Each structure stands twice: as structure tokens, then as C-alpha cells.
Structure 1
């Protein structure tokens, strides 16, 4: 392994850690607000960096480039179309959260329905994090890092042992970030890594194109746009992994849920100083999402031409990094990939402890007549983070035996949890008389139907379309129950504003520009422009 690359990797990683500590060392973690919401004092720059980096992990670097290599650019539908969902969240959901003064999304469900609904949803969140999100983030991060630096060969151990070592290394570092710095340390490291991400987003395509064009970037571009142009198409048909029609059905619902209701993402937006800063941060994160194909997907296009007969397609991204970048940038890229994997991991870890302590542990203690002091809640949260981190580190390496691609696996499994939660939150926001029993029935009904129709006895339908249909049916059931058995006292939203809620005055102009840019991205990667011929 190149010595310069190793020095660059270690230097960049140490600098990120040092500056994160430097910026967050004065933050005293003495209460749950400082631990979970960075004292609600983040600027829009920190919010944007946190949102962007918390959304990225090694499973996207590996999975999306693999999808581009095997199929085409239809996979960008997930990221690029999320701009629409993020704008919806910014305009309609963030004001509700700031006015209500909530810390977790289940807090809203308790106020709207009852404490039982809050506990049920918190448990669903925790299960999805512990079983699905945290272990896969660690595993795919280990796969990417090992693919770039051949860690198992350096340590003279087998591939399986190398994955174990990397999984535990990332898990321990991620857990340490949460315990020592809370969300503030995570936000600072996110923002620093964002700059590294932008550098890579520019240099990797440039070096890759130059390598493909044998020293000429323009020749590399000419090769990509003139041959194998089917890979440039982002407008998927029913035969593609991501049909274009799914953007307007299940994908839209999943994206709104993810950016507006997924706990570890929502916490990044709620950590802003006020609603205006949050909305500016979301808009800036949208810009990053529109640029992200340069980092996540274009490398896969280059690999199509460089490695036409690649057997292990999961190695597309790390193999390209090793072959085209100078040693110093290999180290930087390794640091950013390593950091982004840890970022998603520790953000999920922080949110898991938030859900457990505030929605399960504290109410349980209150039922016993015990008023738990803030310091004990913080101590319990940190202990819980250690416990679930150990569980995730033990589970993660066993994903080596999975026979399906990680990216689609994550999307399909996440549908078990995301859509029912989205449904009951949406119905709770738009109605005043639908009772708690409707929310609980909706969760059970959807989960049973989705598992049956997609996993146990699969129907011949794309899973995103199935999600949309079940969403409509589940919502109809809730409304019917609300009609037959309405709440005796209609729900009235309590105003518990922690800050004065003033929206960003330029949000509509920014939204119009972002929507135009989103359409242009799809247009560029379509048969009308790049994918023609």
C-alpha cells in the first residue's frame, strides 16, 4: 500500500477529529438538548452539512456505482428526486415541528394520539436502526475501505477477519463521537467532511476521465457520451431497477418520510437556531443532492468503459479510486469514505438513544413515580449507545453472507417501517378526530400486508408501487375508523415554541430554482440529451 496514501489518510482523519473536538469541546453535555440537538444552535451551514453527510454512506458509494455499472443512471432517481421531498418537508413539516417544540417525531404522535402510539413507533424505529441501518452501514463501510486499501492483506489476515477489524474500528470511533460530543461533534465533523466530499466530487471525475482518455479529459468525455450511451439514461422503464414512474408513487412517499420523519435526519434539521436557518440549511443540502451524482454515479459510468468484464461488481468504486487518483487524494478519499460511514452510523446511534431515553426509559420511570434528573438521562443514553453499538458490531460482519445487493435490500426492508409511520403522522397532521386505535391498526395492517405481498408471497409489482397502493389503503382504513369512531375531543395542536418561528423569506425563490435544476438533471441524463443513440 502506498506510503503517501496512508500518510494522507491518517492526516486527514486526525484533522477532522481534531477540529470536531476543537469546535465542540466547550459544549457541556449536561442535558438531553445538548446531547441530542446540539443546544439548538446550529447555523444553516452545519445543518446542510449534517443533512448531506448523514444521508451518505458506503452502501451508496458501492451500491449505486454498482447499479450504474450493471444497469444505467436510473438509480439517481432516489437522490435527485429527493429535492422535491426536501422542499415539501421544509415548507410544511419543519414549521409544525418548530411550533410544537418536539425533539423526536414520536413526540408529535404522543400529542396527537396517545403515549401507547408513541411507544409503538419508537420501538419500530429502534428495531429498524438496530437490525437494519447500523449494521449495514458498518459492513458496507468496511467493504469500501478494505477494497481501497486492502487492509486484510496489510494485516496478513483473511478477508473475513479484515471486515471484522474494520467494522469494530468504525463502530468504536462512531460510538466515541456520540458519547463525547453528542450531536454537536457529529454536526461539526459532517461539515468538515462536506468540504472533502466536494473536492472529491470534482477531482474523481476529472482524474477518471483523464485516465479513460489516456491523458485527455475531453477524450474521456467523448468516449462516455459516444459509446455505451444506454448507461447514461436516468429515465427508467418497467424493466429497470428504478422505473421513472416510481418517482411519483412510492419513492416520493419514502423520500418525504426519510427527510421529514426519519429520526436521525430530522434531528439535523431541528438542531438549527430557528426555522429560517433550518430551511436555508435544507435548501443548501438540496444543492448538494443535485451535485452528488458527480461523486456517487459518474465513477460508475467511467468504470463501464475501464472494466468491461469486472466479476466482483461491488468493487467498482474502490477499484476506480485506486487506479485513477494520485496517492494523496486516495488518502483524502479514504478519509472521507471512512468519515461518512461513521457519520451515518453515529447519527443513527445518537437518534437511537434519543428514542430510547426520551420515549421509553423516561416514561417508564415516570410511571413508577420517579422523576429522573437530566444527568441520569444523559448517563443512560450513553450506556444505551454502547450496548446497541456492540450489538451492531457483532451483527454487521455476518452480512457477508447476504445474497442480495445492499442498496435494494435496504430500500425494500426499510419499507416495512417507513410507510406506516409516514401514514399515521400524515393523517395525524391533516385530521383532528382520527383516534389512536386507528394509528395502531394502521401500523399492524401495513406491516403484515407488505411482508406478505413482497417477501412471503410476492406479487408481480415493483415494491415502490406496492408501497404506494398499501399507503392509500392504510390511510383509507384510518379515515374510516375516524369516521366511525371519532375522538370525543378533537385534537388541538399545542404551541410550545422554543424559538420564534419565522420562515426564510427567500424560500419560494430557492424552491423554484432547485426544481428547475432537478428537472435539468433528469433531462441531461435522458434519451433527449446524453443517452440518445
Structure 2
């Protein structure tokens, strides 16, 4: 354990905490709107940073680099293809949310179907956060910090006890920050992290190439461009982690759900001061997603050249970072990873509190509401801490496992949202039947019956089947009064005039990136 790296980690973390505190010290949440939505006054930089860093955490660094290390660049599809989806959501979905003045995505389901549908979906969200999102964020951060600092060796304890210790410390830090600052504090810390990541953070590939090239980054670059070039191929085949065809089936659905329906993501946009800021923030986050392969995937490729094999492929990123970087930079990156995970964790906790307080609990005086919200967040964090270490025993790669489990909760919700958006007479009973059918069939296909079909293709098949089921019920038992969307603007909803130019530019960059990482580009 390097003393210099540890000192750097604590100094950078303290500086980031100080900057976040200075940005929120005069805006301590006094209401639920302040705690959960930042008083709906966030600018586009805050929105974009919040969106990006609610989405990116240590699990992303660990999981994507692990799959790149063991497979190839096909895993970049999760982030890169989502950029096109983000622009679609910014153009068509977010304006509806802001026009209706909702605070949570299940609010739309209550207006479209009924109160019980909203309650069921809110519970599904909370279960997903408790058993999947929050534990995975804590576990990913713990694995990274253990790999970088060797906590188990330094303290003379086993690997799993060290993970327990780090998970508990992360959970405590995230809980305290969430209780103190709410969404506003998270967006400020996200802005600080964004600056740090896209300046110093991008030096990691340079240090890794320099190490591979024996002191010359040019030699290291030549090495990865001329040996094992199949690692650069993002056009995944049947045996790869992400077959290319899945981009147009289940992955499309997962990304559409994630950026249009996932509460802890959408909540960043709902805090915008106006629609233009919301759309600009989404475009800024999309640009960040196109740069991130330099940190989420390229280190995995370099690690495949540096190490013949690793005892645990999950440690590919943290092992490379520790071995190739100067101690000061190792500490800097550790602080960055810690902060990114903390931001996602806080986003999840904050959104869970929003769902519980606004959708499930009967309202009381404001002071009591805040007290209840904070107590619930503490209980939620404690539950996540208890679950997180057991992710160590999952099979098939951390990132794939988490995406597979997340889909159990996510795509069924997205399916009933889509039918709700596109139809006017499909009744509430169809939404409930659709949720039950989708969740049951998907669980059977993944955990009981081996279909031999990639889980993303299974999602697409069940999406079509569930939509057909809901339309059939709507045909047989239509609503007596067709649904009419009610608007209740709480912010200015004039669109950003350059949004379409930004969307076309980002889409072209996605295509260019896929050409670069293909048999016609670097994988030749």
C-alpha cells in the first residue's frame, strides 16, 4: 500500500468534498422538492454532469474493462449506442415530463392507468435499487479500492472481510452526503468529477501504453495496434459478450428504459430550470459518453497485452492502474473512482427516497416529511451495505450479471410506459397483466429454463409479446373514457433551438466510433 497514493487519495477526496460543500452550503434542503429535485433550478452543466455521473461509477470501470480484457470492444455498445437513445428521449419524452410537471416517472403511470399501477411500479423500482443498483455500486467501489491499495494485506485480513469493510465505509459516506445535500449536492459533485475525469483521468491510457512500451508510449501504441487487434473489434459475434445484433433488440429497449424511465436518471433532468437546459444537459452527457471508452474499454485492451492472465478478471482495471501509474496518479484516480461511485450511490438513494415519500407514503407536515425521508434513506443504505459483499459470488462477469438482473425490473416497466404513451384506451388491468407476464417469463428464461437465447434477445421477444397482450386486453376491455394528457408546466418548456444539430452530430460520432473499432478500422 503506497503511502503517497493514500495521501493523494485523501487530499483529492477532501478537496472535492470541500468544493461540493461550498456549492451547497447556502442551499440546505428545507423541503422535499429541494431535497429530491434541487428546487428545479439546475443549469445544463449541472444536469449533464448529474446525468453522466449518475450513470458512470466504479462498476462501469471494473465491469466494462473486465469484458474488454476477456472479450473485445463489443461491450462499449452499452454506453456508445445509448447516445442516440438519449437524443431521442430529449426530443420526445422529456418535454412530456416537464409539461406535465411530474416528480417521478410512476406519476405518469398514475395519470395514464391508475393509482395501484403507480404503487406497483414504485415498489419494483425500490426492489431494483435495494437488491441491484446500490449494492453493485458499493461492491464495485470496494473491489477497485482493494485492488489499488491492498487493504486486505495491509490490515492482515481476508479479501472478503476487506470488501465488507470498504462497502460499509462507502455506504456511510454516501448516506451522510445524501442526507446533507440531496440532489443539489450530487450535481455539484458531479460537475467537479466531470472536470477531473476529462482532464487528469484521461492520462491513464498514456501511462499504460508507456508501461507496455518499456518507457515509450509510441512503442506501446504500436504494440496494441499490431498484436491481438481482434480486441479492438466492437462488432461483436455470437460468442462475444455483446453480439452486434443485440444492439437493435434488447439493448435498444434497455437503453430506452434507462434514459426515459429510470427514476434516478430521469430525476436529474426533472430538476432542470427549463426544457432547453434539460436538452443541452442531455447532449453534454452524450458527448461525455463518447469519450468514456478511453477509460472504460481501452485500459482493458492494454491490460490484455500486459498480463497473460489474471487470477480474477474483475481486477483487470484496478491492477493495471496500480501497476502502471505513478503513486500520485493512482491516488488521484482512486479518489475519482470513489467520487463517481458515491455520486451514483447518492443518486440511487435520493431517488429511492423520492419514490417512497412521494408515491408510497401518506404526506404529513414538511418537517415530518424530511425526517421520515432521511430515516428511510438510512435504512435503505444499511440494506445495500448488507447485500453488496455477496455479489462476489456471482458468475459470468460482474457487468453482464448486473445488466441481466436489472432487466428483470426495467424493461417490463418500459413496456407499459410505451403502451401508455402510444394508446388512449388500454385499461389499467392490461398494465398489471403485462408486468406480471413479462417478469414471470423473463425470470423463467434466465434462472430456470435454459433457452440458449441471449438475454437481450429474450427481452425483445417478451417486449413484443407483452405489447400484443396489452393491446389484446385493450381491444377486449377498452377504457370507457380515452386518456387525455393533462399539462401542468412548472418550468419553461421552450425547446433548445440547436438540439437537432447536436443530435445529428452525436449520431455521426457514434457511427464514426463504430467504424474506428471494426475490421475496417483498428481491428484490421
TM surpasses 0.5: yes
Distance 1:47 1:30 in 2: 21
Structure 1 position 94 matched with structure 2 position 94? yes
Which residues of 2 match residues 169-180 of structure 1 at below 5 A? Answer: 169-180=169-180
Hey, what's the Cα distance between the residues in 1 that align with 2:149 and 2:108? 45
For residue 440 of structure 2, the aligned residue among 448, 458, 461 is 448
Of stretches 232-241 and 99-108 in structure 1, the one that deviates more from structure 2 is: 232-241
Q: Is the 8 A contact 1:234 1:526 kept in 2?
A: yes
Q: CA deviation at 1:201?
A: 4.0
1:462 aligns with 2:454: yes
Structure 2: segments with no counterpart, 5+ residues: none
Matched with 2:513 is 521
Mapped pair 1:37 → 2:37: yes
Moved over 6 A (4+): none
2:476 counterpart of 1:484: yes
Take 1:311 and 1:4, find their aligned partners in 2: how far apart are those partners? 27
Superposed, 1:115-514 pairs within 5 Å as: 115-362=115-362, 372-514=364-506
Assess if the C-alpha contact under 8 Å between 1:200 and 1:295 holds in 2: no
User: Is the Cα–Cα contact under 8 Å of residues 201 and 294 in structure 1 kept in the other structure?
Assistant: no
Supply the distance in 2 between the matched residues of 1:228 and 1:404 (Cα, whole angstroms): 23
In the alignment, which residue of structure 2 is the partner of 1:65? 65
Structure 1 Cα separation of the partners of residues 113 and 510 of structure 2: 37
For the 8 Å contact 1:53–1:344, the answer to whether it is kept is yes
Q: RMSD between aligned alpha carbons? A: 1.1
Listed one character per residue, the Cα deviations across residues 438-458 of structure 1 (whole Å, up to 9, x for unaligned) are 100000000111111222112
Residue 76 of structure 1 aligns to a residue whose secondary structure is helix
Gaps of 5+ in 1: 363-370
Is the Cα contact below 8 Å between 1:196 and 1:332 reproduced in 2?
no
In 1, the alpha carbon distance for the partners of 2:166 and 2:311 equals 24
Q: TM-score, normalised by structure 2?
A: 0.98
Whether the 8 Å contact between 2:394 and 2:401 is mirrored in structure 1 is no
Distance 2:309 2:247 in 1: 31
Q: Secondary structure at the match of 1:199?
A: coil
Offset of residue 434 of structure 1: 0.8
Aligned-residue offset at 1:349: 0.7
Paired positions, count:
524
| Separation (CA, whole Å) in 2 of partners of 1:429 and 1:19 | 41
Indicate the SS of the match to 2:497: coil
Counterpart contact for 2:186–2:347, Cα < 8 Å: yes
CA distance in 2, matches of 1:398, 1:452: 22
Q: What is the aligned partner in structure 2 of residue 365 from structure 1?
A: none
Distance 2:395 2:512 in 1: 36
Give the Å deviation of 1:200: 4.2
Measured in 2, the distance between the counterparts of 1:206 and 1:477 equals 53
Question: Can you list the C-alpha shifts for 1:336-360, whole angstroms capped at 9, x where unaligned?
Answer: 1111111111110111111111110
Contact 1:205 1:298 in 2 (8 A): yes
| Counterpart contact for 2:28–2:180, Cα < 8 Å | no
1:366 is matched with: none
Cα drift, residue 44 of structure 1: 0.7
- TM-score w.r.t. length of structure 1: 0.97
For 1:512 and 1:23, how far apart are their aligned partners in 2?
34
Cα pair 1:141 1:338 within 8 Å, conserved: yes
TM-superposed deviation, 1:69: 1.0
